[in-house]
Amino acid sequence: MSPNPVSRDKFDAVLFDLDGVLTATAKVHAECWKKMFDTFLLRYGKRIGKELLPFDIATDYRLYVDGKPRLDGVRDFLKARNIDLPDGNPDDGRDEDTVHGLGNYKNDLVNEAIDSSGVEVYSGSIEWARHIKDTGFRLAVVTSSRNCDAVLESAGIGDLFEVRVDGNVIHERNLRGKPAPDSFLFAAQQVGVPPGRAVVVEDAISGIQAGRAGRFGLVVGVDRKDNSDELKANGADIVVKDLGEFLA
């Protein structure tokens, strides 16, 4: 691998996923998904008279929710468990057994975690992002999370990115979530760069698939889960352990 595969002669913009790429919030999200689903599965199991297996971070998180919009993650996990719940209403409370209710509960847990513990960044990612911005790259954050603004501000990196396409924008614009390429394509449009001249940086399989589906010039996988082969198999052109490797 070239020490600098993301060069200005080939590319004009870099589109970053947030959780797991820039910030160490992927672990927070995984733990919040587990707490929410385990609470629901215990309650629902008692109602139907059956003991249900708890949510497994190693498999369920990666397969059904990682990188996806929150409500899609709820639906996909429930479908995998053959549980059918109504969508409900956007303002459903955390104790209501609806897709919106479970999604809102998970969101509450994430916000509580951010408020209590703050946000940890991956320093190599931030150093590289600042470096490429200084060399003229257009930078955007593309995330399914609706907590994007709070995370960026808490981490002190809100100034780095001229465009933010988050879960709120995805909902408002009626964009399909990852693994569909819509959110990345919209971000590229917002920074005025064609997909072939833009780089996608992702750690989630669904995000890698989105980058490949959008025909972006380069799809970089960040291996945070010891799944380099899986990232490559799903469309990553390059896989690194840390984006700081590009500074070497």
- CB contact at 8 A, 70 and 103: yes
Longest dimension (CA), the chain: 62
Which tokens belong to 100? 């919106």
- Secondary structure percentages of the chain, helix, strand, coil, to 5: 50, 10, 40
For residue 223, give the nearest of 26, 59, 2 by alpha carbon.
26
Which residues have C-beta within 8 Å of that of residue 216, sequence separation ≥ 6? 15, 184, 188, 195, 196, 198, 199, 200
Residue 179, preceding peptide bond in cis (omega within 30° of 0): yes
- The single residue listed with the structure tokens 């951010």 is 114
Among the listed residues 9, 12, 19, 84, the single catalytic one is 19
* Measured distance CA(76)–CA(157) in Å, rounded: 32
- CB contact at 8 A, 107 and 54: no
Active site residue 91: no
Among the listed residues 9, 12, 17, 149, the single catalytic one is 17
Active site residue 17: yes
Q: Which residues are catalytic?
A: 17, 19
